Structure 1
Amino acid sequence: MEDRIKLGVSACLLGENVRYNGGHKLDHFLRDTLGQYVDYVPVCPEVEAGFGVPRETMQLVGDVDAPRLVKTKSRTDHTDQMRQWAQKRVKELEKEDLCGYIFKKDSPSSGLMRVKVYNEKGMPEKKGVGLFAREFVDHFPLIPVEEEGRLHDPKLRENFIEQIFTLKRWRDTLLKNPGTGGMVDFHSRNKLLLMAHSPEYARSMGKLMAGAAKMDQDAFRGEYEAQLIAAMRLKTTTKKHINVLQHIMGYFKKQLSADEKQELLETFDRFRAGHLPLLVPITLLNHYIRKYDQKYLKQQTYLNPHPIELKLRTYV
């Protein structure tokens, strides 16, 4: 990559003392592990919007789809103040070239999903979205977003990180070689990764790429990026991984010995049964790719989509 990935993040998750009680919600994975590969742009909506530290707690009330932001005790309504700040802040974030954003769960400003919204009887419904999170998603519909709580799930963590790394590679391609040749090369290198997320999108994007030379380039790039993000948002499954693994094996099945074929197939079966993590068949395939010098497969991001130090393919 040309440079490090830039991610927006709720400031409290990096250990900044910006919460209502003067504390933080440091997430060690975000700061210490993922932080080795990304540059964060920290944001605290409450502090930046002028509410200070410490401060009275706030909550969402009223209509789930259009809630008001009020202080818990005084009942002062700060909806307009927060929205006006949020509208200004997302415009400022345009210049940051963010490849993703990690929000603080349950926050009335930053919660991405299932935020409590209290009705007129004071009963909560966990169906809301924080005011700043909603503004961000509406303003940047193609930027990957997630909550820190959901990133504790290894599958959701892997899905989000594959999204941000893929988007960064795409943007680097447009900067370095924005012509048709560069985009064809990007699609070729990421074909198997796309198949693992969505065979349907992989086919659709292949057809789109085949007709790129006949399209207006801005229109093509916009459509391709939209499909790229939509594909990568879909989660991988064991079945889709098996399809890709078998596809890779097909590239050198004539070169493999009977024992090597059997070893691969047994490894695939154990992965399918949930007895081995994905890293095991991937490592074995990488061994054969080097051994038999499969140049096309060496370029496939599917085999190394993110740093191995993140340990994203080790769960069963």
Structure 2
Amino acid sequence: MSAVLSSKPTLGISACLLGNEVRYNGGHKQSQLCSKILGEHFEFIAVCPEVAIGLGVPREPIRLVGDPAAPRAVGTRQHERDLSAPLAAYGERMAGELQGICGYIFMQKSPSCGLERVKVYQDSGSPSAAGARGIYAAAFCARHPNLPVEEDGRLNDSVLRENFLSRVFAYAAWQTLLQEGLTRHRLLNFHSRYKYLLMATDPQHYHALGQLLGNLAEQPLQELAPRYFSELMAALKKCATRGTHSNVLQHLSGYFKRVLSADDKAELSQLIEQYRTGLVPLVVPLTLLKHHLRQHPNAYLAEQQYLQPHPENLSLRNAL
């Protein structure tokens, strides 16, 4: 089987999620998922932008105010204390320094680190209907539009968690490709390995990426590759469904139609249908497919990241 990267990818993370007592009240928001489970598979770089710009612990809380499209971060009591510029500047600074990370987990609802739906208060004292992104997170993400990012709370959703971590390992694989030296041949091989993962997340984008690489020899590689990677990460961000997974499983089963007995074919088809209708998790038909692949090796299939886009002992597909 194609192995995911042997070394641990590095993730940026809001420091409070690792149990660091950096919150305004002197506490933390330790995430067991991040600190215990994901900590076995990733290196973390913990960041608290509010402490980094000089705010103490404990401290006056801050909140977003004004226009949700361009909010400001101010003190909840000292409204004249505007921390927007320091937080944004620190976001840009860290975007430059954290070049080796393959993803970032942000603290939800935070006026500095929240990714979406952070409350933006109006003069009336009530939040606007539209939320915003935290000041630090907005500045950081603007500099890294392709980087997989997610909020801690959303990672409790099994589909979002599996999608995020699949993207993290794809991002890490791309960084390894760049370090080894980008060539047209390596780019085509990379795309080939992600064929079925793309088919599961965004079939239309998969075809578009294939067309993009169709005349690879006629295009400057250094211009095409960044465009390809941006579109790849956008496609992988779309969550696969039982329907798209089932379609991929059927495609994969087609590679065994000449080597399996009628009973084996029927069993595999039945498990795919049971997965599609929600009777069994994704790991069930996948396990059988991998069994048949071991019995009937196929070099092309063995390279497909779809079969194992993240470490198996994370058990991410047991809940899909």
Alignment TM-score, normalising by the size of structure 2: 0.95
2:144 is matched by which residue type in structure 1?
F
Is 1:53 equivalent to 2:57 in the alignment? Answer: yes
Counterpart contact for 1:201–1:231, Cα < 8 Å? yes
2:31 to 27, 32, 41: 27
How many angstroms apart in 2 are the aligned matches of 1:131 and 1:177? 36
- Residue of structure 2 aligned with 1:251, choices 255, 258, 271: 255
Residues in 2 aligned to 1:87 and 1:287: alpha-carbon distance in whole angstroms: 48
Letter in 1 for 2:234: A
**Residues 15-164 of structure 1: pairs in structure 2 closer than 5 A:** 15-75=19-79, 76-93=81-98, 96-125=99-128, 127-164=131-168
Q: Which amino acid aligns with 2:68?
A: V
Q: Which moved more, 1:78-87 or 1:247-256?
A: 78-87
Q: Which stretch of structure 1 is more off in the superposition, 71-80 or 11-20? A: 71-80
Say which of 221, 239, 243 aligns to 1:239.
243
Distance 1:134 1:34 in 2: 24
Secondary structure at the aligned position of 1:73 is classed as: coil
**Aligned CA distance change for structure 1 residues 304 and 87 (closer, same or farther; 3 Å):** closer
User: Given that residues 89 and 139 in structure 2 are in contact (C-alpha distance below 8 angstroms), is that contact kept between their aligned partners in structure 1?
Assistant: no
Q: Closer, same or farther in 2 for the Cα pair 1:174/1:77, shift >3 Å?
A: closer
> What is the identity, as a one-letter code, of the residue corresponding to 2:103?
G
Partner of 1:208: 212
Q: CA offset at residue 177 of structure 1?
A: 4.2
Structure 2: which amino acid aligns with 1:38? F
CA distance in 1, matches of 2:284, 2:181: 34
The one of 292, 295, 304 aligned to 2:299:
295
Pick aligned residue for 1:270 from 267, 270, 274: 274
CA distance in 2, matches of 1:31, 1:291: 38
Deviation of 1:82 after TM superposition, in Å, equals 2.3
Equivalent residues of 1:100, 1:145 under 8 A apart: yes
CA distance in 2, matches of 1:5, 1:178: 20
Tell me by how many angstroms 1:18 deviates. 0.6
Q: 1:45 to 1:240 in 2, by over 3 A?
A: same
Distance across 1 between alignment mates of 2:94 and 2:52 = 9
Q: Distance in 1 between matches of 2:82 and 2:230?
A: 37
Q: Is the contact made by 1:174 and 1:183 (CA closer than 8 Å) also made in structure 2?
A: no
Q: CA deviation at 1:181?
A: 1.4
Unaligned 5+ residue runs, structure 1? none
Deviation at 1:65, TM superposition (A): 1.1
| Residue 314 of structure 1: how far off its partner (Å) | 0.9
Write the letter of the residue equivalent to 2:87.
Answer: M
- 1:10 equivalent to 2:32? Answer no
* Structure 2 Cα separation of the partners of residues 2 and 269 of structure 1: 34
For these two proteins, the number of residue pairs brought into alignment is 314
In structure 2, runs of 5+ residues without a counterpart are none
TM-score (norm 1): 0.96
2:227 to 220, 223, 234: 223
Superimposed CA distance per residue, residues 113-158 of structure 1 (whole angstroms, 9 cap, x where no aligned partner): 0101100100013512100011111111111111000000000001
Q: Which moved more, 1:185-194 or 1:144-153?
A: 185-194
Percent identity, aligned pairs only, is 43
Identify if the C-alpha distance between structure 1 residues 85 and 167 changes in structure 2 by more than 3 Å, giving closer, same or farther. closer
Letter in structure 2 aligned against 1:106: K
Kept after mapping to 2: 8 A contact 1:174/1:182: no
